[in-house]
């Protein structure tokens, strides 16, 4: 005996309801599966245009976790051939052209389909800060040249700018604490904020400047040295200061000029150079930097002969004369040159520039002794706090420096709140909404079926 019309309609409506519910269930399962499927990789490019050289860094991260912590890794580093971009004052276009070889290596690594969505930045540091002080027009021409090169490349170029010393120090602090998992870490199935005492300080010695950044024990009394952040739901206030003209290359230049001014003749006895070293140098290039102050009595057209004497004690004394320690007498919270600094606290990671070319060998003794004077007498590390310093170029497989922190900041990849929790809550709300929609649809279809069933009578 066949089914009546109302029974066939009723069964059809129930079938539609079941099919709709099954379809929504499949969508739920697909959505849930997609949460755990491996995502595409995204990339970011940062040029570190330092005073003595330029480096390119390529960072990568899973696309679906770009706002989580600990997922960014360093995919490529490339050293640009030639000097820093501030050296191209006579032909700024060459500054832009110098970037092309490393950029090509980066583009070869990144899939072509992602080139146009790869954020690319160029940050210039102390070398360009000095040039901008000396001749702002020349600095602008160089920035325009590198910007044109990068704008014409198939990337998402976000611009080229000269970083302030404060930004350079602050971004370096973010980088090292991000890499070491000090800002947020995953433990026992949840994201947790590490204790503040675990945060590390950052020390950076470049070619033209040096930076110190750390979380002090007490309040920061000089607001010009304070940088504040809200990272992963926590507020951070760090002390940071940058000393222009106290980078390695500028200190060596200032040291030689200081010794030359003390020599009555064109023979300069250099205590930091080894005994037996001798070289004849033009005097004028020493005074091209704004860091080196000249006197009217100097004849800049002459050459000088530099002889090494190999006297470590005299070398330290000469380096100490480059600092103004007397300006801090009677002040506890003071480093040198009258600059406020609270006592150093906690672990510190140092990144220092160590040129490997043979032509720098004669400067290794001066550089090493300068680092000692800077850390012990300048930044006020002591015998007790010295073991807290770690000299490393890398941490967690990534170079220590400002570039990663700079990219994370500009791309918004460091959120104010831990987004993994927000994502879980949003997903739960979405799931509840889908389930509610399914149940509502089934109820509506069921009601329609019942009404049709009774009206057929």
SS3 (DSSP) at 162: strand
Q: Which of 168, 195, 351, 384 is catalytic?
A: 168
What would the pLDDT profile of 264-312 be if each residue is shown by its tens digit?
788 999 999 999 999 999 988 888 999 998 776 677 788 999 999 999 9
Greater model confidence, 31 or 23 = 23
DSSP-assigned letters across all residues of 61-85: EEGGGTTSSS--EEEEEEEPSSS-G
What is residue 17's predicted lDDT score, i.e. its pLDDT? 54
What is the rounded CA–CA span in Å between residue 344 and residue 323?
19
Could you give the C-alpha distances from 319 to 24, 256, 457, in angstroms and in order?
74, 10, 106
Q: Residue 377: exposed, middle, or buried by beta-carbon count in 10 A (0-12, 13-18, 19+)?
A: middle
Partnered with residue 201 across adjacent β-strands are: 348
What would the pLDDT profile of 60-98 be if each residue is shown by its tens digit?
988 765 444 447 889 999 999 999 999 999 999 999 999
What sign for the dihedral angle of Cα 137, 141, 146, 147?
A: positive
What is the rounded CA–CA span in Å between residue 118 and residue 103?
12
What would the pLDDT profile of 166-220 be if each residue is shown by its tens digit?
999 999 999 999 889 888 776 777 767 777 778 999 999 999 999 999 999 999 9
Q: Residue 239: exposed, middle, or buried by beta-carbon count in 10 A (0-12, 13-18, 19+)?
A: buried
| Binding residue numbers for ATP | 207-211
Name the nearest CA neighbour of 216 among 242, 193, 196.
196
Could you give the C-alpha distances from 298 to 29, 75, 290, 293, 321, in angstroms and in order?
81, 50, 16, 11, 20
Question: What's the angle, vertex CA 124, arms to CA 325 and CA 46, rounded to 5?
Answer: 125
What is residue 230's predicted lDDT score, i.e. its pLDDT? 81
> Are the C-beta atoms of residues 342 and 332 closer than 8 Å to each other?
no
Check if 117 is active-site: no
Residue 318 has pLDDT above 70, yes or no: yes
Rounded to 10 degrees, the C-alpha dihedral 264/268/269/274 comes to: 180
> Are the C-beta atoms of residues 194 and 222 closer than 8 Å to each other?
no
Residue 355 has pLDDT above 80, yes or no: no
> Are the C-beta atoms of residues 170 and 133 closer than 8 Å to each other?
no
What is the rounded CA–CA span in Å between residue 225 and residue 52?
26
CATH tag for 41-245+390-420 (out of 3.40.630.30, 3.40.50.300, 3.30.420.40, 3.40.50.9100): 3.30.420.40
Rounded to 10 degrees, the C-alpha dihedral 79/85/88/92 comes to: 110
What is residue 28's predicted lDDT score, i.e. its pLDDT? 47
Q: Is 247 left (phi over 0), alpha (psi -120 to 50) or beta?
A: beta
What is residue 36's predicted lDDT score, i.e. its pLDDT? 40
- For residue 197, give the DSSP letter: G
What is the rounded CA–CA span in Å between residue 204 and residue 353?
8
Neighbouring C-beta atoms of residue 262, cutoff 10 Å: 11
Q: Is the pTM of this model over 0.85?
A: no
């Amino acid at each position: 005996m066949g089914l009546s019309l109302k029974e066939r309609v009723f069964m059809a409506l129930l079938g539609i309801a079941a099919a709709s519910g099954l379809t929504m269930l499949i969508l739920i399962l697909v959505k849930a599966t997609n949460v755990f499927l491996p995502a595409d990789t995204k990339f970011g490019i940062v040029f570190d245009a330092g005073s003595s050289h330029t480096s390119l860094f390529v960072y990568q991260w899973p696309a679906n976790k770009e706002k989580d912590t600990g997922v960014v890794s360093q995919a490529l580093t490339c050293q640009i051939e030639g000097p820093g971009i501030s050296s191209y004052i006579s032909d700024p276009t060459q500054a832009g052209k110098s970037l092309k070889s490393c950029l090509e290596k980066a583009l070869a690594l990144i899939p072509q389909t992602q080139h146009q969505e790869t954020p690319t930045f160029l940050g210039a540091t102390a070398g360009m800060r000095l040039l901008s002080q000396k001749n702002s027009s020349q600095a602008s021409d160089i920035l325009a040249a590198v910007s044109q090169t990068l704008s014409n490349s198939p990337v998402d170029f976000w611009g080229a700018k000269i970083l302030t010393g404060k930004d350079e120090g602050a971004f370096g602090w973010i980088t090292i604490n991000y890499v070491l998992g000090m800002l947020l870490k995953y433990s026992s199935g949840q994201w947790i904020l590490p204790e503040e005492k675990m945060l590390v300080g950052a020390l950076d010695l470049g070619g033209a400047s040096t930076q110190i950044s750390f979380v002090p024990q007490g309040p920061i009394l000089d607001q010009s040295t304070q940088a504040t952040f809200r990272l992963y739901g926590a507020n951070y206030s760090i002390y940071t200061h940058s000393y222009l003209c106290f980078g390695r290359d500028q200190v060596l230049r200032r040291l030689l000029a200081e010794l030359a001014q003390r020599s009555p003749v064109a023979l300069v006895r250099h205590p930091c150079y080894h005994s037996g070293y001798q070289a004849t140098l033009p005097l004028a290039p020493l005074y091209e930097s704004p860091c080196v102050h000249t006197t009217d009595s100097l004849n800049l057209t002459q050459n000088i002969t530099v002889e090494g004497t190999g006297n470590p004690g005299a070398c330290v004394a000469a380096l100490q004369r480059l600092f103004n320690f007397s300006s801090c007498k009677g002040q506890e919270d003071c480093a040198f040159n009258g600059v406020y600094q609270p006592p150093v606290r906690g672990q510190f990671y140092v990144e220092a520039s160590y040129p490997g070319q043979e032509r720098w060998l004669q400067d290794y003794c001066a550089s090493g002794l300068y680092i000692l004077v800077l850390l012990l007498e300048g930044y006020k590390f002591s015998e007790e706090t010295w073991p807290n310093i770690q000299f490393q170029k890398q941490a967690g497989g990534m170079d220590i420096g400002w570039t990663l922190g700079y990219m994370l900041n500009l791309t918004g990849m460091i959120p104010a709140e831990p987004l993994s929790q927000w994502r879980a809550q949003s997903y739960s709300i979405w799931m509840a909404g889908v389930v509610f929609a399914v149940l509502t649809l089934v109820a509506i279809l069921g009601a329609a079926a019942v009404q049709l069933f009774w009206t057929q009578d």
